[in-house]
């Protein structure tokens, strides 16, 4: 990684900002790092180690000489710039949903399916920020006792929708405490002192796109299309870190203590599960950390093969920026920056 030239598209956004923070900690001496965003941010200065990066407007011509392009923007922009970056010879690691479900695009959580980077054709996607923690927890359990069905109810922070809703939560809370009316702009409804049982658009079956993503992406990452999954995704007035109450049904009974043992052995997962000491993961504590935290692990009283648990992870780090950087590290470690197959990816 230290020798590579990288570009960050969306460097001024919620994920891009966290990305630069992590890259600065790990790779402050990167010889060439290009910060790209929209024309609105062109000329803006971002600090990176002892340097300043001057933000440039991203265009199809931005990628000459770049090895890895990290993209954290809307799908529309990813669809335009991703193929241009591949055509310029870079590998693209995309945070959005634009390419995730394409057969030619690996969808990767390195601790779970890192080997999938080996069949990339220029673009690798990272999963949705609620899917990644679920896959991290499901994987070590599924390996020893196949999962039949998952029911997941999420409590997703406002930063999952970008930097604008973070500002909105702060300002709306202040306004409401001052007796003023809420004035939602970035989100559809008031988020201060409220929860919104909808993330992304509704589909014909009554689920939202976010809920469909959790199902399809979990199946793709775990290579397990047979796992049934039903999610309800809810936005809550929390700045950072997504939580989920997860019910997992296995083929055979899974004792809670066995699950704790398996999860303790899983890289990137921390078990915090001591009810007697009121110890369980909470978003405020988890924010800024790299681990996926799991607690409240117990037998499901409604099913003999079921377990219930509570999962929390920083959506901007493991849910997005950190996972992207780990994918790049995986590419370098496996010596597959250049695709081993011809590119089939197009806009
Ligand atoms: N937030 C999360 O927890 C999370 C987790 C996983 C994946 N993701 C995905 O990551 C992506 C970015 O999310 P975010 O939360 O960082 O959003 P955000 O805070 O709204 O930031 C969006 C970024 O995109 C840039 N941008 C907008 N239009 C552009 C254009 N035409 N050309 C180049 N750059 C443009 C913005 O630049 P300006 O500042 O110049 O407008 C900004 O840097 C989305 O696809 C999201 O689904 C987010």
pLDDT 10s digits, 158-217: 999 999 999 999 999 999 999 999 999 999 999 999 999 999 999 999 999 999 999 999
Q: Answer whether 17 contacts ligand 1 (Cβ < 6 A).
A: no
Could you list the beta-strand ranges (E) of 126-225.
147-156
Q: Indicate if the pLDDT at residue 342 is higher than 60.
A: no
Is 336 annotated in the active site?
A: no
Question: Atom 38 of ligand 1 has which residue's CA nearest to it?
Answer: 38
Assign 340 a pLDDT band (cuts: 50, 70, 90). low
Question: Atom 9 of ligand 1 has which residue's CA nearest to it?
Answer: 96
Helix, strand or coil, per DSSP, at residue 238 = coil
Q: Indicate if the pLDDT at residue 344 is higher than 60.
A: no
Index of the ligand 1 atom closest to the CA of residue 11: 43
Pick from 80, 79, 86: nearest CA to 7: 86
pLDDT digits (tens, 9 = 90+) for 239-263: 999 999 999 999 999 999 999 999 9
The DSSP line for 78-116 is: HHHHHHHHHHTT-EEEE-SSSSTT-TTS-B--HHHHGGG
> How many C-beta atoms surround the C-beta of residue 319 within 10 A?
29
Q: Answer whether 160 contacts ligand 1 (Cβ < 6 A).
A: yes
How many residues does this entry show for the chain?
347
> Roughly what angle, to the nearest 10 degrees, separates helices 131-144 and 256-264?
110
Which CATH number applies to 5-127+320-333? 3.40.50.720
Which CATH number applies to 131-157+195-315? 3.30.360.10
Q: What is the mean pLDDT of residues 76-80?
A: 97
Q: Answer whether 43 contacts ligand 1 (Cβ < 6 A).
A: no
Distance 260 CA to ligand 1 centre (A): 36
Do residues 269 and 291 lie in contact, with contact meaning Cβ atoms separated by under 8 Å? yes
Domain boundaries, the chain: 5-127+320-333, 131-157+195-315
Q: Indicate if the pLDDT at residue 345 is higher than 70.
A: no
Distance 72 CA to ligand 1 centre (A): 5
Q: Answer whether 35 contacts ligand 1 (Cβ < 6 A).
A: no
Do residues 42 and 55 lie in contact, with contact meaning Cβ atoms separated by under 8 Å? yes
> Considering the chain, what percentage of its residues have pLDDT values greater than 70?
98
Instruction: Kindly tell me the sign of the dihedral angle through the C-alpha atoms of 104, 110, 115, 121.
Output: positive
pTM value is: 0.95
Mean pLDDT score of the chain, rounded to an integer? 96
pLDDT digits (tens, 9 = 90+) for 84-142: 999 999 999 999 999 999 999 999 999 999 999 999 999 999 999 999 999 999 999 99
């Amino acid at each position: 990684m230290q020798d590579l030239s990288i570009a960050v598209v969306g460097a001024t956004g919620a994920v891009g900002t966290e990305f630069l923070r992590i890259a600065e900690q790990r790779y402050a001496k990167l010889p060439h790092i290009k910060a790209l965003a929209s024309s609105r941010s062109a000329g803006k200065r971002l600090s990176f180690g002892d340097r300043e990066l001057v933000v440039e407007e991203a265009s199809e011509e931005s990628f000459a000489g770049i090895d890895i392009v990290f993209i954290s923007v809307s799908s529309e922009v990813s669809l335009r710039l991703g193929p241009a970056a591949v055509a310029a010879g870079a590998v693209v690691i995309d945070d959005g949903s634009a390419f995730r479900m394409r057969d030619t695009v690996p969808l990767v959580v390195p601790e779970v399916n890192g080997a999938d980077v080996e069949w990339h054709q220029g673009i690798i996607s990272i999963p949705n920020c609620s899917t990644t923690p679920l896959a991290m927890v499901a994987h070590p359990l599924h390996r020893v006792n196949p999962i039949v069905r998952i029911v997941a109810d999420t409590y997703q922070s406002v930063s999952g929708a970008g930097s604008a809703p973070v500002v909105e939560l702060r300002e709306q809370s202040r306004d409401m405490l001052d007796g003023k009316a809420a004035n939602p702009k970035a989100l559809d409804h008031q988020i201060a002192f409220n929860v919104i049982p909808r993330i992304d658009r509704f589909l014909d079956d009554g689920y939202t796109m976010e809920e469909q993503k959790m199902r399809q992406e979990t199946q793709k990452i775990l290579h397990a299309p047979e796992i049934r999954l039903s999610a309800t995704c809810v936005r809550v007035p929390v700045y950072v870190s997504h939580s989920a109450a997860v019910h997992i049904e296995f083929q055979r009974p899974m004792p809670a203590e066995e699950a704790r043992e398996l999860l303790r052995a899983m890289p990137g997962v921390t078990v915090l599960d001591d009810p007697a000491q009121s110890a369980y993961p909470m978003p405020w504590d988890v924010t800024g950390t790299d681990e996926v935290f799991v607690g409240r692990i117990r037998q499901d009283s409604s099913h003999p093969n079921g377990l219930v648990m509570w999962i929390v992870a920083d959506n901007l780090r493991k849910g997005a920026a950190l996972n992207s950087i780990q994918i790049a590290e995986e590419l370098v470690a496996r010596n597959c920056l250049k695709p081993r197959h011809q590119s089939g990816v197009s806009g």
